[in-house]
Amino acid sequence: MARKNLNDRRAAARRELEEAQAKFAKLQNETAARIGKLAVRTGLTDLDLSDDEIKAAFEEIVASNKQENVP
C-alpha cells in the first residue's frame, strides 16, 4: 500500500483534531450540565450570589480537595 502524500496526511490529522475538539466540547457541555443540575438540586440557584462569589466558592472547593488528595 502506498504511503499517503503530505497533504492527505495533513488533512487526516486536521480531521482527527476537529473530531477531538468536538468530543472535548461535548464532554465540557456534559460536565457543565452536571454541575448545573447539582446547583439546582442543592438550592444554589436560589441564593442571591454573583458569578464572582460562586466562582470563588468553587475555587475554594477545588483548593481544599487538591490539598486533601496530595500524598
Is 20 inside any structural domain?
yes
Q: Looking at residues 43-66, what average pLDDT do you find? A: 94
Question: Residue 44 class from Cβ within 10 Å (0-12 exposed, 13-18 middle, 19+ buried)?
Answer: middle
* pLDDT over 70 at 68, yes or no: no
Residue 3's pLDDT band (boundaries 50, 70, 90)?
Answer: confident
Mean pLDDT of all residues in the chain? 92
Give the chain's domain count: 1
Residue 4 pLDDT: 82
Q: What's the DSSP call for residue 44?
A: G
The pTM score is 0.70
Range of the domain at 36: 6-68
Cβ-defined contacts of 31-38 (< 8 Å, 24+): none
Residue 67 pLDDT: 75
Is 21 inside any structural domain?
yes
